[in-house]
Amino acid sequence: VTSRILWVLLRQYLGCGLRCLRLRGLLLSARGGTFLSESWLKALSTKCPRLSKLYLLHADLRSLPSCQILPPSLQVLELRGCELPRGFFNQTLPTSSASLQERAEPTSSVGSQLKGRNQKGKGAGSPSGIGIERLVLNNVPSFTDQHLQGLTSWERLCRLELRDTFRVTANGLRSCAAKDGVCGVEGLSRLKFLEIGITGRQGYQLHMASLGLGAGWLGLEELSLGGKEVGPGLLCASRLRDLKRLRLWDCTLSELQIARSCRMLRGLRQLEFVDVRFQPRQNPPAEEGEGGEEEEQDREEAEGADGSSDENKTADMNDPIPGLRRTLAVLLPSCTLVFTNCSVQNNED
């Protein structure tokens, strides 16, 4: 689809009933050329005022000034294989005469209360503010810590999904985490769901961005970890005191590793495994020293949770998932377990 066809579609076919739009750009096309223009996006906002979901695939957005030219009615934005300019997610509120008038208001208690109410109303329903609630970034190589920092100005963002965003670092994630500041909660304070996953592009430097969760994240209730981010993320999950749901996908885990990580997640209500390859339980020789004693203690806790029946232990040798269920039932009695397309990895050794 070229920009010319987009104009034809907008003028003759698209209207106020459009709710969801999926577009594939020319980023990987030999034809090239401009795909999304600022004038077309403005016309889209006027012609389709109910558009709430926009999915862009292989779109070059570097010619656009910022995401503020996107339709203000958007609630979901998904970018897959796209290119972004610097500062694309920064939100710049215009300095109007109304804002200057607010600065000139009297400093009395009544005036301060009215000013606070006006600011709340402006943040909740201002047409200049970004109303996107869910942002999905899938294989966007140009997404960096700078873009992540720009998302802190989004007042309604509650779901953020980062998949194969290789340039996001632990420091960048840590600086955007919701935390108590001088003026209240700073960072991505409204975020309830966060997904971090690295599964492709072998050879790229792995920053282990999920280590940035080690500083904690106020209000974060759901965490999804995938691929190479599962191991580092599990080490920091215990620092998320508001965490209620944890999802692990496309990774290899052992029962002992899961038991160690979930032992401190007493407030967890749902634990989901998707496309997880479970390693069979191994009983290596006991090591001398404190490290060996600690590993032996963790192993005994996991085996003790399975029950003392020899029949159960024999059955679990071929399938560790039943044993894992019993282990987690003891460690997390109030947690619901979900297994989807999981398998057991058989070691020929």
SS (H, E, C) 175-244: HHCCEEECCEEECCCCCCEEEEEECCCCCCCCCCHHHHHHHCCCCCCEEEEEECCHHHHHHHHHHCCCCC
**Interval 138-151 mean pLDDT:** 95
Per DSSP, what are the bridge partners of residue 161?
136, 195
| Lowest-pLDDT choice from 129-138, 265-274, 296-305, 326-335 | 296-305
Give the pLDDT band of residue 225 (cuts 50, 70, 90): very high
pLDDT value for 282: 64
DSSP 89-120: T-------HHHHHHHTS--SHHHHHHHHHHHH
Residue 312 or 324, more confident = 324
Q: Is the pLDDT of residue 54 over 70?
A: yes
Q: What is the dihedral of CA 282, 284, 289, 293, to 10 degrees?
A: 40
Give the pLDDT band of residue 191 (cuts 50, 70, 90): very high
pLDDT value for 311: 47
- CA quadruple 142, 148, 151, 157: dihedral positive or negative? positive
Cα(14)–Cα(21) distance, integer angstroms? 10
Give 287-309 pLDDT, tens digit per residue. 555 455 555 555 555 555 555 44
| Lowest-pLDDT choice from 84-88, 162-166, 278-282 | 278-282
Please provide the average confidence, as pLDDT, over all residues in the chain.
Answer: 82
**Interval 159-166 mean pLDDT:** 96
pTM for the full model?
0.81
CA-CA distances (angstroms) from residue 47 to 75, 87, 282? 17, 27, 62
Give 123-143 pLDDT, tens digit per residue. 444 445 799 999 999 999 999
Give the pLDDT band of residue 234 (cuts 50, 70, 90): very high
Give 107-122 pLDDT, tens digit per residue. 444 444 434 444 444 4
Q: Is the pLDDT of residue 93 over 80?
A: no
Where do we find the tokens 């992540």?
Answer: 148
pLDDT value for 181: 81
Residue 237 near residue 243 (C-beta atoms within 8 A):
yes
Q: What is the DSSP letter of 69?
A: G
| E-state strands within 18-128 | 20-24, 53-57, 76-80
